[in-house]
Structures are given as structure tokens and as C-alpha cells.
Structure 1
């Protein structure tokens, strides 16, 4: 036992023991802190969003779901919808939310989540889909389309201007979900060319911008 204690005190392979004084403890603490910060920075980097093929697949699938949502809302506006129409619109927003979360597109994820929550209430008979409510859902889809165009332009190396923050839109969706009036409703939808993919250009072009409210 005495010999083993000497080995421990002397360190491995006969190295002299290193005193763990205040300076040594401080150095260890600094090293651990630096390692922790490095790991956090690495974790915050979404390498999946840098994969051009994954991003392109996301854009294609998300746009397909937005087209399906718009078709569903048209049926609802015309009062020709069935319960499956609401389920389909809900599933499309839910899928967009999941895809956006996978690539860490947090704004798209937030808007899709709030809108699917509204549609979930409607499909379960807890919320009446009034014309104003349908307008809010359309606005959410238009906003997501603007973000898809922004992501596409950025991936192509074109100059882009991000859409405005989603807070006002989310407040409208939440108000509609609670059965209250949707505040700050826009008088017009964004232009069709702003909601649809822009044609690729040789020279850098400005990104999609929503219509002034």
C-alpha cells in the first residue's frame, strides 16, 4: 500500500507529482470553460442547413405543401370543403414545421406551429373558420413563401432582404385562434411575384420584399 501511494504521488510513469494549488485549479477551470464554449459554438452551427441538396429538397417540398394549403383554403372560402380539407391543411403546416425544425429555420417553424395550432382547433370543432380567420391563414402561407424565396436567393448567392419579423403575424394568428378579431390585417396580399420563386439572374438581385402595409 505504501508503495502504491508513492506511485500515485509520483504520477504515472514516474513523473513528479504536480501540486494542485490555486494557480493549477484556475488554469483547469479556464480550460474547461474554453472547452465548454467551443462545444456550445459547434452545437449552434447547423451543418444540415449548409447542405445544398437538403435545402433544395426542403424548398421543393415546402412549396408543394403551400400550394396544397392554398387549394384547401380556396375550398373553405367557397364552402365546398369537407373535414378532410381541414386535416390536409393542418398536415401541410405540420410538415413544414417539422422540415424547418430539422434545418433550424426557426422563424418558419414558429409561424407554421402557430398556424397549425389554429387549424387543429378548427378541425376539432373548437373554432369556426370565419372569412377573417381564413385571411390570417393565407397571410401565414404568404409569409412562409417569402421566407422560402429568401432562403433560395441566399443559397444562390444573390443579395437578399429578409422578410419582416413574424411577431405581428403571430399575434394575428394567436388572436384568431382565441376566437378574437385579428389585429392589423393587411388590406392586400403580397404580390404574386413576391410569393413565387424568383427567376435566377446572372447579376445579383434584391431579395423578395413584402408589400408595404
Structure 2
């Protein structure tokens, strides 16, 4: 199972969309991810919202018995309809504090399909891992090519010398939930 930095079950931070209007299959993917996190006896760290994919992953996790930790800035509590069903809902002042607290509570990171906020979170945690600020897995769960263009762009940056191969290797891309979670699991002792 593995223990987290906070000495509990492995904690997976999931970055994802929190706006409505997302195609239903993405919500199903988020629910499945939450359910599978729970099935492994792990816990979920999220942005603390109850709408869209963010809400679906938390609902899926709790339905399977996982502990959920949400982190949300005060200004977004009403705007994103905070997930007051979280086992622990941490309210912070800024988005920077939110990301730092999510990272501190997590042992691994998975980015589901999302928009600019999800990409911003992904790039920050990916970069901090590459420069050695943490050794936690960073995974993109992309079953349908949502991130194809972004990943092609980053590979193009590497081709032009702006991104080193080690940075590219630091990001794990998975096309199914089990592969994404397997990439998060600590190595067998």
C-alpha cells in the first residue's frame, strides 16, 4: 500500500476540470479514478470543489471508502461550491497556498483532462519534480488524446533544445486508470 509523507495511506492528488458543461464521459472517468483510488486503500487530495470532474473524483473516492482532502481558497468556496463532504476541507487565502498544500499532502499526482488551471497545476508540479524539489510521480491520464497537442508542443520544445530529455521522462502519460495508478504506486520492497 505504501505510506504518505503524512504517515498514512498513499495520497494521490488529482488535478482536473471544475467547470460544468464537460462531456459526460470525462465525469465517468473521474468517478472511476476516485473509485479505483479507494479500491487500493489510498486517499484523495483535490482542489476541494464539488462540481464537474473535481466533484466526481471525490464522490467516487468516498463511495469506495477513501478519505478525501480538499484544498480551496476562500474566494472560491462559494464560486466552486466547496465540497463540504470532504473528510478534511482546508481553506486557504490564495491559489499559491492551495497548490502548495495539495503538494504537501500528496505522494503522487494525476492530471485528468482539464483546461488552463489544470495545465498550470500540472506544469508546476512537473517542473518542481524535474528540478529536484520532490521525487513524487507526475502522471497525465489521457485516454482519448485530450493532451495530444500539448504533449506534441512540449516535445517540439525539446527538439529545439528548450526542454531536456530528462524533463520529458519525468512525466508519465497513461491511457487507462489502472496504468495511471500503477505509476503512482511506490516500488515494491
TM class by smaller structure = under 0.3
Larger C-alpha radius of gyration, 1 or 2? 1
Structure with larger RCO (C-alpha < 8 A, sep 6+): 2
Query: TM-score, normalization: structure 1?
Result: 0.25
Query: TM-score, normalization: structure 2?
Result: 0.27
Higher normalized strand content (fraction of residues): 2
Higher normalized helix content (fraction of residues): 1
